[in-house]
Amino acid sequence: MTDENPYQPWIAKIISVKEEASGERAIKTFRLEFQDEEVRKKFSFLPGQCIMISVFGTGESIFAISSSPTQKDYIEVSVMRYGKLTKALHLKEEGDLVGARGPYGNSFKVDEWKGKNVLFLGGGIGQAPLRSVIDYCIDNRKDYGKIDIVYGARTSRDLCYKDEFAEMSKKDDLSIHLSIDVEEEGWNQFVGFVPDNLKRLNPSPENTIAITCGPPIMIKFVIQNLLELGFKEDQVYTTLEMRMKCGIGICGRCNIGNLYVCKDGPVFSYDQIKDIQGDM
Ligand SMILES: Cc1cc2nc3c(=O)[nH]c(=O)nc-3n(C[C@H](O)[C@H](O)[C@H](O)COP(=O)(O)OP(=O)(O)OC[C@H]3O[C@@H](n4cnc5c(N)ncnc54)[C@H](O)[C@@H]3O)c2cc1C
Ligand code: FES
Q: What class does CATH assign to 117-239?
A: alpha beta
CA distance 176 to 148: 6
CA of 240 to the centre of ligand 2 (A): 13
Residue whose CB lies within 8 A of the most ligand 1 atoms, among 19, 53, 60, 63, for a mutation test: 63
DSSP-derived secondary structure for 17-63: EEEEE-STT-EEEEEEEESSHHHHHH----TT-EEEEEETTTEEEEE
Q: What is the mean pLDDT of the chain?
A: 93
Residue whose CB lies within 8 A of the most ligand 2 atoms, among 254, 256, 259, for a mutation test: 254
CA of 37 to the centre of ligand 2 (A): 29
Task: Based on DSSP, count helices (H) and strands (E) in the chain, helices before strands.
Answer: 8, 15
Per-residue pLDDT tens over the stretch 132-171: 999 999 999 999 999 999 999 999 999 999 999 999 999 9
CA distance 274 to 280: 10
CA of 75 to the centre of ligand 2 (A): 23
CA distance 178 to 212: 14
70-83 b/e (C-beta count within 10 Å ≥ 16 → b): eeeebbbbbbbbee
DSSP strands (E only) in the chain: 10-21, 27-34, 50-55, 59-64, 75-80, 97-104, 117-123, 147-153, 175-180, 190-191, 208-213, 236-239, 255-256, 259-260, 267-269
Residue ranges of the domains in the chain?
10-104, 117-239
Q: Decide the pairing of beta strands 190-191 and 27-34.
A: unpaired
Fold of 10-104: Elongation Factor Tu (Ef-tu); domain 3 (2.40.30)
CA of 49 to the centre of ligand 1 (A): 16
CA distance 240 to 93: 29
Q: Decide the pairing of beta strands 59-64 and 75-80.
A: unpaired
Closest ligand 2 atom to 243 CA: 1
CA distance 7 to 11: 13
- Sequence-separated (6 or more) residues with CB below 8 Å from residue 40: 33, 34
Q: Give pLDDT, residue 155.
A: 95
Ligand with the closest atom to the CA of 253: 2
CA distance 46 to 38: 19
Dihedrals phi, psi of 249, to nearest 5 degrees: 75, 20
pTM value is: 0.93
CA distance 170 to 240: 31
CA distance 115 to 63: 29
Closest ligand 2 atom to 251 CA: 2
CA distance 74 to 97: 14
Residue whose CB lies within 8 A of the most ligand 2 atoms, among 52, 240, 241, 246, for a mutation test: 246
Per-residue pLDDT tens over the stretch 160-186: 999 999 999 999 999 999 999 999 999
CA of 74 to the centre of ligand 1 (A): 23
Per-residue pLDDT tens over the stretch 21-57: 998 889 999 999 999 999 999 999 999 999 999 999 9
